[in-house]
Amino acid sequence: MAHPPRRVLGLLRRRLAAAIGSRQGRPGLPPLQTIQIPGLPPLPPLPTIQIPCLPPLQPLPTIQIPGLPQLQPLPTIQIPELPPLPPLLPSVSITPGSPGAPVQVPNSSQSALAVAAPITPQPTECLSSLMALMPCVEYATKTDVPAPPSVCCDGFKSLVEMAPICLCHGINGNIGKFMPAPIDLTRMMSLPATCGVTPPVEALTKCFTGPVPPLMPAPTPAAAPSPSPEPSA
């Protein structure tokens, strides 16, 4: 039995598809044209690939943060009113002439009571006053002497009481002019703390503001010779 040609089979398929589409009330889609290459067998139809549906994602869990408890209100501190302080001294009315009345001091007596502090006279030169520091020479010039002797502190105290302005020559180094060896200024400046004697601030201020008495006494000018009497004629 001879098979019908392939063109006839294709025509029959198209007509069958058109008939089925007209019966369903809608026009049928024209089938794809089959491309037939002579000498090659027809290609098998492509398999239908079915992709399974992915399961739905699980919903995220709902995180619930519990509410924090409310803070307790701070207690109201009520400070009671303090009672007024009693007066330090009772008010006493004193009449003039009574035993508790203040005594009026005359002006002359008041001026006598107000005694001014003694003012140390400023010396005219400081060499004689600085001689009180001669017992301090070994302490001020030798580093192997650990502490000044007591006679040094006594002389330093006498200098502070009688001529504190002459300490300026120890600060500026002029005192080293009549010392047998160079003076250690650090040791010289430590005498107030070592001997426990505090020089007055006013005298130390004059070291920078002046005037400061000279170290050596001023030379005495020579007396002018008296004129010789003229011979009588």
* 77 or 126: which leads in pLDDT: 126
pLDDT at 151: 93
168 inside domain: yes
Asked whether the beta carbons of 195 and 158 are under 8 A apart, the reply is no
Query: 109's torsion region: left (phi>0), alpha (psi -120 to 50) or beta?
Result: alpha
35 inside domain: no
122 inside domain: no
Average pLDDT of 127-134? 88
pLDDT digits (tens, 9 = 90+) for 144-175: 888 899 999 999 999 999 989 888 888 887 88
pLDDT digits (tens, 9 = 90+) for 184-233: 888 888 889 999 999 888 888 888 888 888 888 777 666 556 666 665 55
Residues 6+ apart with CB under 8 A from 182: 141, 176
**Full residue range of the structural domain in which residue 160 is found:** 127-209
With a threshold of 0.75, does the pTM exceed it? Answer: no
Mean pLDDT of the chain: 74
Please report, rounded to a whole number, the percentage of residues in the chain having pLDDT higher than 70.
Answer: 67
56 inside domain: no
* 38 or 148: which leads in pLDDT: 148
Q: How confident is the model at residue 105 (pLDDT cuts 50, 70, 90)?
A: very low
71 inside domain: no
User: Could you tell me the two tokens for 12?
Assistant: 């029959």
* 126 or 40: which leads in pLDDT: 126
Dist CA 162 CA 131 (whole Å):
12
Dist CA 130 CA 159 (whole Å):
7
169 inside domain: yes
174 inside domain: yes
pLDDT at 154: 93
Q: Please give the tally of structural domains in the chain.
A: 1
226 inside domain: no
